[in-house]
């Protein structure tokens, strides 16, 4: 049993209610799938440190790339100047992205990548002189915590207090299995209005909304409807990108060619913050003009930080030269084996898998993000040395691809143990 200890600290942690979570372990080291605390306790990172760590913590090539870059160029303004790590990452992303992507705009987080995507869509229509200003988004969506990304995200406990900051969007029903027709009909009707700039989607799986999975055919049909009505499609691959769904990008499974695509999290293998918004030539060209009012007006101080770009370049090289796809497939297979054991277990509902991700809902008195069982589960998993951070009563397992069979068994045995203890 690992014991967490109270730390006297001025730090205000993200998505953390300090009044009910007083004890915070202090992590001093990470390697592979392991995190290690300053008291020697080790935790299996079953959620890839908020879905960022893809290959595993401390991949030697990424560490070496960071070290090498620190000695060459630490930071430089990216407006009007460029550098090789950024150029290499941009070329790599265009190589790896779905067909049609030709331009790469850097930022620092998933939220900023989505903000940039929304601004690109609105700028595209304005610069073309067409009045399309509304955005469509899926029910239960999550796209980040900045004002615009909260606006396109589902309304609820995450953002009720910030409602005055948010703009209205058209909401499309989630395409649950067997209910897809309702999604198509609402999407079609919304698009017919002629004022829609873009539809933003998390392809194949809605993450923070509860690991809700939907069919590739539904994604492909939504894309066809958008295309028919000249509505831009923004694919938010912030969580799904870099192998999580079994393919490098989830869009591939639907044969999708989005107009705009957002990547972050695993872009640096999960080592440093970096994000990119990818766009087609049409989006770029609408901003390309001697008329300077058509400039794409977005920046942040650390845009394309060279050290983060060096880490991303190493990550892309890893994808292009190491058997990462085989590792992903092996993990998918192991996950399939484990999730099969939970089918029919009455303590769980909606036992599901997409690629390397599994999720299962604990049958509990209440559901949703604030379900009382959530903090109980978290504490019990941590006490067993497993970092799982349920979304309310939804337990999900999203490990780094280096995880081995024994480590995965430890995670699932902890789930069985802890949930049995709830009875």
Ligand X SMILES: Cc1ncc(COP(=O)(O)O)c(C=O)c1O
Residues making contact with ligand X (CB under 6 A): 109-111, 114, 142-144, 202, 207-208, 236, 238-239, 264
Residue closest to ligand X (Cβ): 110
Torsion of the alpha carbons at 258, 280, 87 and 296, rounded to the nearest 10: -110
How many Cβ atoms sit within 10 Å of the Cβ of residue 237? 30
Compare residues 92 and 207 and give the one whose CB is closer to ligand X: 207
Least Å from the CB of residue 290 to ligand X: 35
Least Å from the CB of residue 416 to ligand X: 27
Compare residues 158 and 184 and give the one whose CB is closer to ligand X: 158
Compare residues 268 and 280 and give the one whose CB is closer to ligand X: 268
103-107 vs 275-279, strand pairing mode: antiparallel
Compare residues 202 and 259 and give the one whose CB is closer to ligand X: 202
Least Å from the CB of residue 270 to ligand X: 11
Least Å from the CB of residue 185 to ligand X: 25
The conformation of residue 365, written as its DSSP 8-state character, comes to S
Look at residues 188, 186, 144, 182 and name the one whose alpha carbon lies nearest to residue 166. 144
Structure tokens of 232? 């831009």
Least Å from the CB of residue 148 to ligand X: 11
Least Å from the CB of residue 79 to ligand X: 22
Look at residues 106, 99, 423 and name the one whose alpha carbon lies nearest to residue 280. 99
CB proximity list for 237: less than 8 A, separation 6 or greater: 203, 249, 250, 251, 261, 262, 263
Sheet of 134-138, strands arranged across: 103-107, 275-279, 260-263, 232-236, 196-201, 134-138, 170-172
Compare residues 180 and 236 and give the one whose CB is closer to ligand X: 236
Least Å from the CB of residue 253 to ligand X: 16
Residue whose pair of structure tokens reads 């160029």 in the numeric block: 73
Compare residues 242 and 412 and give the one whose CB is closer to ligand X: 242
Angle between helices 60-70 and 306-321 (to 10 degrees): 150
Compare residues 385 and 392 and give the one whose CB is closer to ligand X: 392
Structure tokens of 365? 């008195």
Instruction: Report d(CA 270, CA 27) in Å as an integer.
Output: 16
Helical H segments across 47-202, by residue range: 48-51, 60-70, 84-96, 110-127, 147-152, 180-192
Cα atoms in the Cβ-side hemisphere of radius 13 Å centred on 156: 11
Compare residues 62 and 150 and give the one whose CB is closer to ligand X: 150
The conformation of residue 252, written as its DSSP 8-state character, comes to G
Least Å from the CB of residue 40 to ligand X: 30
Q: Check: CB of residue 204 under 8 Å from CB of residue 354.
A: yes
Least Å from the CB of residue 204 to ligand X: 11
Compare residues 380 and 388 and give the one whose CB is closer to ligand X: 388
């Amino acid at each position: 049993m690992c014991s967490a200890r109270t730390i006297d600290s001025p730090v205000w942690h993200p998505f953390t209610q300090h009044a009910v979570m007083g004890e915070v372990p202090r992590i001093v080291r990470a390697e592979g799938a392991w995190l290690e605390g300053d008291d020697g306790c080790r935790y299996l990172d079953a959620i890839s440190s908020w879905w960022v760590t893809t290959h595993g913590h401390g991949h030697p090539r990424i560490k070496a790339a960071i070290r090498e870059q620190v000695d060459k160029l630490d930071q430089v303004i990216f407006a009007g100047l460029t550098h090789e790590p950024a150029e290499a990452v941009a070329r790599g992303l265009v190589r790896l992205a779905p067909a049609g992507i030709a331009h790469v705009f850097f930022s620092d987080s998933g939220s900023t990548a989505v903000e940039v995507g929304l601004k690109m869509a609105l700028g595209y229509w304005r610069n073309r002189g067409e009045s399309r200003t509304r955005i469509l988004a899926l029910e239960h969506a999550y796209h980040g915590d900045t004002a615009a990304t909260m606006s396109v995200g589902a309304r609820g406990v995450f953002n009720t207090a910030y409602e005055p900051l948010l703009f209205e969007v058209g909401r499309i029903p989630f395409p649950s299995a067997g209910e897809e027709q309702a999604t198509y009909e609402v999407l079609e009707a919304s698009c017919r209005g002629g004022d829609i700039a873009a539809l933003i989607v998390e392809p194949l799986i809605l993450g923070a909304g509860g690991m809700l999975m939907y069919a590739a055919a539904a994604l492909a049909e939504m894309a066809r409807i958008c295309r028919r009505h000249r509505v831009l499609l923004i694919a938010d691959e912030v969580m799904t990108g870099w192998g999580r769904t079994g393919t490098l990008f989830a869009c591939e499974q639907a044969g999708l060619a989005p107009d705009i695509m957002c990547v972050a999290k695993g872009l640096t293998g999960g080592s440093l913050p970096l994000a990119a918004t990818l766009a087609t030539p049409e989006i770029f060209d609408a901003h390309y003009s001697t008329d300077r009012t058509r400039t794409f007006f977005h920046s942040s101080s650390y845009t394309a930080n060279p050290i983060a770009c060096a880490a991303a370049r190493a990550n892309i090289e890893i994808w292009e030269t190491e058997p990462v796809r085989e590792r992903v497939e092996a993990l998918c297979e192991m996950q399939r084996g484990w999730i099969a054991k939970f089918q029919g277990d009455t303590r769980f509902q909606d036992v599901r898998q997409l690629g390397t991700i599994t999720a299962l809902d604990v049958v509990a008195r209440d559901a949703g993000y604030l379900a009382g069982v959530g903090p109980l589960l978290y504490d019990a998993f941590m006490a067993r040395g497993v970092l799982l951070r349920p979304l309310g009563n939804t337990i999900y397992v999203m490990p780094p691809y280096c995880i081995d069979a024994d480590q995965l068994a430890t995670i699932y045995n902890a789930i069985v143990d802890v949930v049995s203890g709830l009875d």
